[in-house]
Amino acid sequence: MLAAWIAPVVLLMVVSACADGERSRNELSQQELDNIRSLGLLDSGEVILGLHSNAGGRDPVLNAGGFYTDRRVARYWIDKDPEESSTKSAWLAEVDTFIPHFNNPWPASSSIQVRTGPHSWFNLYVNGDANDVSTTTFYSGLLEEWTKAREPRTGNAETLH
């Protein structure tokens, strides 16, 4: 009898732990934005265009997330043990490529590998797979901002004589 309800409870816990999904800048609280700024991942005037958190819990965005702005892509993990916490970021103009890994078997999380060189990369973890609308919307938005960041700028370049 006990075993009959354990599996549904465990499944519910796993699903709810990974259910935060994508958030836009309008959905982030001031506390969440301040937390990301305190990590050195968001400059003044820089706006988060898309954020994914798969940390679960009561305040998932405060614990972990991956996001992009019009300037950068970043991820962070805040652990109870400060030595286990980590942040990674790259300017969009310096990114060589993004490699999506959206259909990983459980317990691995879906991710986007951010490559800035042949031996330089990090994973930005997302909540969802290739069929998840918020994941594909996040990825499409990231690619759009990356394309813009890589376009040559005009109007400010000095003319050589």
| Phi-psi sector, 128: left (phi>0), alpha (psi -120 to 50), beta | left
Residue 86 confidence (pLDDT): 92
pTM of the model: 0.74
Q: Is residue 60 part of a domain?
A: yes
pLDDT, tens digit (0-9, with 9 covering 90-100), for 99-144: 998 876 766 778 899 999 889 999 988 877 777 777 888 999 999 9
Per the prediction, the chain carries an average pLDDT of: 77
- pLDDT > 50? residue 3: no
- pLDDT > 70? residue 15: no
Residues 6+ apart with CB under 8 A from 71: 43, 46, 91, 92, 149
Calpha distance 70→159 (Å, rounded): 27
Indicate which CATH number applies to the domain containing 29: 2.30.29.30
Domain span holding position 64 = 21-150
- The answer to whether 89 and 103 have CB atoms below 8 angstroms apart is no
Q: Is residue 102 part of a domain?
A: yes
Q: What is the edge-to-edge ordering of all strands in the sheet holding 120-126?
A: 97-101, 110-117, 120-126
pLDDT, tens digit (0-9, with 9 covering 90-100), for 22-61: 555 567 888 888 889 999 999 988 999 999 887 766 666 7
Backbone angles phi, psi at 117, to 5 degrees: 175, 175
Domain count, the chain: 1
